């Protein structure tokens, strides 16, 4: 256990890299070394994982929250995108005031979920206090702060067509990055940028 908490040496990283290369080779024509290679790789992998996890305080990215002025329109946008409604409820109380650093907070929240069940987006509509406007209202991609929320989709063209049919707009245009991705930015609810990525591999 003491070993796992020690800093990982550069020679360990090199050995791990070489072992993975050997393991890939072993599956085809280096069969005699497969078991030994696998055991050494697994042991070193455990060491790496433990070394990385030592001192970590987060478990996962739970969700991203978006404050909107039209909750129903936002639900429609992300439903058309392919997310599903997980839950909806009003929230208020002293604990909400304390978390937000505001008084008399009253909000309606909706949780949307991606098809794989791992990604969640919280849509928040403030009933009190009033929304604070940002300048400019439709911020360009180089605005400070949260840049965009990206989704991997089956087809960029189909997704763009569905969203545009419901009033969404492209920020720029669809572009391809090498032979890996087709990408674009869509303008989503409350002016946020929703990124779409189609894998080509």
Which three-class secondary structure state does DSSP give residue 183?
strand
pLDDT value, residue 46: 64
Name the class of domain 137-201: alpha beta
Q: Is residue 91 within a helix (H) or strand (E), and if so which, with residue range? A: strand 84-92
Better pLDDT: 153 or 4: 153
Q: Which CATH architecture has domain 58-132?
A: Roll (3.10)
pLDDT band at 136 (very low <50, low <70, confident <90, very high): confident
Domain locations along the chain: 3-53, 58-132, 137-201
For residue range 35-89, list pLDDT tens digits in order.
565 566 556 666 555 655 566 688 889 999 999 999 999 999 999 999 999 999 9
Question: Where does the chain have alpha helices with state H?
Answer: 10-26, 34-53, 71-81, 94-100, 156-165
Least confident of 18-27, 88-97, 147-156: 18-27
Q: Indicate if 137-201 has the same CATH topology as 58-132.
A: yes
Q: How far apart are CA 38 and CA 44, in angstroms?
A: 10
pLDDT, position 39: 63
pTM reported for the whole predicted model: 0.71
């Amino acid at each position: 256990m003491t070993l796992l908490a020690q800093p990982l040496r550069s020679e360990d990283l090199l050995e791990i890299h070489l072992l993975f290369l050997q393991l890939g080779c072993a599956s085809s024509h280096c069969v005699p070394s497969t078991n030994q290679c696998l055991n050494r790789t697994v042991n070193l992998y455990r060491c790496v994982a433990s070394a990385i996890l030592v001192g970590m305080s987060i478990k996962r990215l739970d969700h991203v929250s978006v404050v909107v002025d039209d909750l129903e329109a936002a639900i429609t946008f992300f439903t058309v995108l392919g997310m599903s409604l997980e839950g909806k409820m009003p929230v208020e109380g002293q604990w909400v005031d304390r978390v937000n650093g505001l008084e008399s907070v009253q909000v309606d929240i909706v949780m949307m979920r991606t098809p794989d069940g791992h990604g969640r987006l919280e849509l928040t509509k403030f009933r009190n206090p009033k929304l604070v406007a940002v300048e400019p209202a439709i911020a360009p991609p180089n605005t400070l702060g949260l840049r965009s929320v990206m989704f991997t989709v089956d087809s960029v063209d189909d997704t763009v067509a569905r969203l545009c049919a419901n009033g969404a707009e492209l920020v720029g245009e669809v572009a391809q990055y090498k032979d890996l991705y087709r990408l674009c930015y869509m303008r989503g609810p409350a002016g946020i940028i929703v990124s779409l990525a189609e894998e080509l591999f």
